[in-house]
Amino acid sequence: MWNAIFWGTLAASATMLGSILALKISMPKRVIGYIMALGTGALIGATTYELLEDSLEISGFKEVAIGFLGGALLFTILDYLISHKGGGHERKGSDRADNHTVSDHTQSSSENVGKTSGMGIFIGTVMDTLPESAMIGLSLVGGGSVSLALVVSVFISNIPEGLSSTVGLRESGFSKKKIIVMWGFVVFFSALSSLAGATLLEKASDSIKAIVSCFAAGAIIAMIASTMMPEAYKEGGPTVGFVTSIGVFIALWLHHL
């Protein structure tokens, strides 16, 4: 039991670490872009090698499709609602468009996108961290050893998620205290999720295990495609493609340790 809580807390604590870095250290935007790109690559690799591949080994494509597409769809709906809310504020200001230049409007649009992406990444992090923690706990069932590749990949990817989301949340007007409390709840519930994976999912069917795992995978892919990748490219430029490749390779290397 305590092993599950420990490993779940450790993996999720990286979100808090990323948040603290964003609040305490003024990082160059290019560095933030590189960190996000590395985390994106690690997430893609962990999703492919740990979540989807392992799910296919214990179930079929139907279970993978239900979980994967369900997770992606739910995140997309939530992200759309957040973006639509932000867009609503922008549309309210359209009546004053004749008092602003085109460049002012473009800058305002960019700022709105940055603000909504912070909450989008936060929601995506919650949606993938909890099922990931459950999978970490599940790997300990029957006295087995924890999946080191999954823990490290989740830890690496959670740092830029916490960092970039915190930057967006600060731009949206969230206080430092509120942000820390939000990430504290994420870490706490991740520990409980890991415990649940080691206990409640122990007797679950392989199909249920696969659906839960793939749900996390779907949320991860939808989140990085709509929030992390665009933000990483905007901050880091074309070189983030190579940094992302490094993240994927790290996940592959960890998977075969």
Domain-located, residue 186: yes
Domain-located, residue 232: yes
Q: What is the 3-state secondary structure (H, E, C) of the chain?
A: CHHHHHHHHHHHHHHHHHHHHHHHCCCCHHHHHHHHHHHHHHHHHHHHHHHHHHHHHHCCHHHHHHHHHHHHHHHHHHHHHHHHHHHHHHHHHHHHHHHCCHHHHHHHHHHHHHHHHHHHHHHHHHHHHHHHHHHHHHCCHHHCCCCHHHHHHHHHHHHHHHHHHHHHHHHCCCCHHHHHHHHHHHHHHHHHHHHHHHHHHHHCCHHHHHHHHHHHHHHHHHHHHHHHHHHHHHHHCCCHHHHHHHHHHHHHHHHCC
Domain-located, residue 246: yes
Note down the domain range covering 112: 2-22+29-90+106-255
Domain-located, residue 141: yes
Domain-located, residue 170: yes
Q: What's the predicted TM-score (pTM) here? A: 0.73
Per-residue tens of pLDDT for the chain, all 257 residues: 678 888 888 888 988 998 998 898 888 889 888 988 988 898 898 888 878 888 899 899 999 999 999 989 988 898 888 777 644 333 333 333 344 433 343 344 444 444 455 677 778 777 777 777 877 777 666 555 666 767 877 787 788 778 878 887 887 788 899 899 989 988 998 888 888 877 877 778 889 888 988 888 888 898 888 888 888 898 899 999 999 999 999 888 887 87
Number of domains in the chain: 1
